[in-house]
Amino acid sequence: MFVRKRARTARRLLTLAVAAALASVLGAAVPASAAPGPSFTNPLVGAPNSADPSIVYSGGNWYYVATTWSSKIIMRKSSTMAGLKTAPERTVYTLAPGPGCCTMWAPDLQRINNRWYLYFSAAASPGQGERRTGVLESSGTDPMGPYTYRGILNLEPNNGWAIDGSVVRFDGHVNHYVYSAFRGGEQGLFIAPMSSPTQVSRNGVRISSPALPWERRGAPVNEGPYAVYNAGKTFLTYSASSCQTPDYKLGMLTWTGGDPMSASSWTKKPTPIFERHDASGVFGPGHASFVRSPDNTETWVVYHANSSPNQGCGTTRTTRAQKINWNPDGSPNLGVPVRTGTSIAGPSGDS
């Protein structure tokens, strides 16, 4: 009897010790939120080089690139998100005359296989119909370059009109490239598998058309796709309606599993996820990208918008940023656009 009691006691003590050790390990693995970074007010970056923003955080610094409507690709670097407001602009690449030149917009900065790739839309010359997607490759691990031009992605048949793209990643699949193109008279979303960071292995297939009324204000448009990941799910945000209107807004597709190249593997949310907020004086919010805070506990949306309903899609659009939340199903909850001039605590760990 005494021996059995001692054995049971020993087993209980061992169980408690193992549980304590496991709790210690799990507690250490869960990231703790750090202090907020320096506060800022929107716009985060003002006109003119401030539409279609792309931001990454790497090696203790933020890197920002946006539309210039010129042959120059310009970047800002800052140790805090707030510091991007006054960070100097640096030209990291100047496009030469040819298919990848000269009106640059909608850049997307991505790190793949220890190199940086800068995807961008461009027209051969202002006013012409050509619209192509080009790509630059860094020579090392610095997002500021130097960069080498790697050509045009062959996204559409006959190297046709293809813009506003970005890289999307899927578990168990190669990287894919999502973009906007005209087929059948409407501007929709397409996806193509990437054979390398600088080329695709086949032309894209359509995964979304602007079929809903809120996607057709001013013109039927789906463009500017960008992925955000959470709870093991992949969500693809995109801009809808004409950017010439204050009703430019964000919609969302959800990848439901299966082949990303099949439209049946995607479901569209029937309502917008981010749109104009007249009470806050924010119009046409769109072309968003997403970035994690330095301590990896927060996700932030970075987007452009106007402060007047009549400003359209020119150089009046400025870059704004705000922290997002998550819905019970894991999907992003962007809330409403924050009024310019409102103080926003910076990303967690941003110091």
Instruction: Render pLDDT for 284-299 as a digit per residue (tens, 0 to 9).
Output: 999 999 999 999 999 9
Residue 317 has pLDDT above 70, yes or no: yes
The single residue of 164, 215, 223, 275 carrying the catalytic annotation is: 223
Residue whose tokens read 């709870």: 231
Q: How far is 176 from 195, CA to CA, in rounded Å?
A: 9
Q: How far is 323 from 349, CA to CA, in rounded Å?
A: 13
Q: How far is 76 from 144, CA to CA, in rounded Å?
A: 9
Residue 300's DSSP bridge partners are 291, 323
Q: How far is CA 194 from CA 49, 58, 264, in A?
A: 29, 24, 20
Residue 257 has pLDDT above 70, yes or no: yes
Phi-psi region of 204 (alpha: psi -120 to 50; beta: other; left: phi over 0): beta
Q: How far is CA 177 from CA 104, 195, 279, in A?
A: 18, 10, 36
Residue range 228-252, pLDDT digits in tens: 999 999 999 999 999 999 999 999 9
Residue range 77-87, pLDDT digits in tens: 999 999 999 99
Q: Region 73-101: what's the mean pLDDT?
A: 93
Q: Side chain identity at 114, as an amino acid letter?
A: N
Give the dihedral sign, CA 216/219/220/222. Answer: negative
With 0-12 CB in 10 A as exposed, 13-18 as middle and 19+ as buried, what is 315? middle
- Number of Cβ within a 10 Å radius of residue 196: 15
Q: How far is 303 from 165, CA to CA, in rounded Å?
A: 15
Residue 20 has pLDDT above 50, yes or no: no
Contact criterion met (CB below 8 Å) for 302 and 289: yes
Contact criterion met (CB below 8 Å) for 137 and 198: yes
Q: How far is 208 from 290, CA to CA, in rounded Å?
A: 21
pLDDT of residue 151: 92
The rounded mean pLDDT for the chain is 90
Angle at 50 between CA 43 and CA 140, to 5 degrees: 115
The single residue of 52, 108, 164, 247 carrying the catalytic annotation is: 52
Has 89 been annotated as catalytic? no
Contact criterion met (CB below 8 Å) for 222 and 209: yes
Radius of gyration of the chain (CA): 23
Has 223 been annotated as catalytic? yes
Q: How far is CA 109 from CA 18, 113, 234, 296, in A?
A: 45, 13, 19, 19
Q: How confident is the model at residue 125 (pLDDT cuts 50, 70, 90)?
A: low
